[in-house]
A = this chain, B = another copy of it.
Amino acid sequence: MKRRRRFSDVLSRLKAAGLRPTRQRLALAELLFVGGDRHVTAEALYVEARAADIRVSLATVYNTLHQFTSAGLMREVVVDPGRSYFDTNSSDHHHFFFEESGVLRDIPGESVSLHGVPPPPPGTAISRVDVIVRVRNTQRSD
């Protein structure tokens, strides 16, 4: 009953987040949350969903990713001008970004330590610290 287990996991996850478990949200959540951490763009998830015979529109994919993000189930990662990535790992961690391929990879939050960040100005508080390690291929690429 793996399939049923997955389904109910995802179902309770949506319920816990206060999101109505619609067919599209359930299907997208299953793609996203089953099988480890993922980093997707809206377009990529849309293509993947279609390939998996999930009937959903691109607009709904965008809406859903933002709803999941607002609900704390995902995190938006900004690394590429003109394209947003969404990360199924919403805990505190950092990223490698492979500039040539556009691939994002997690760096566990505990492994990195930061010192010397100045305090934020009065009246403000740090909401998040992003560390993005941009990586490029060593060998010729042109």
List chain B residues, Cβ under 8 A from A98.
124
The segment from A8-16, A53-61, A130-138 found at the interface with B is A130-138
Q: What's the least CB distance linking A81 to chain B, in Å? A: 4
Interface residues of chain A, those whose CB is within 8 Å of chain B, are 76, 78-82, 84, 96, 98-99, 107, 111-118, 120-121, 123-139
User: In the assembly, how many copies of this chain are there?
Assistant: 2
Check B131–A136 contact: CB distance below 8 A: no
Check B99–A127 contact: CB distance below 8 A: yes
Tell me the dominant secondary structure on chain A's binding face.
strand
Complex: A79 Cα to B98 Cα, angstroms:
17
Q: What's the least CB distance linking A79 to chain B, in Å? A: 6
* Additional A-B contact list (5), CB under 8 Å, known A98-B124, A114-B131: A112-B114, A124-B136, A128-B134, A130-B130, A131-B131
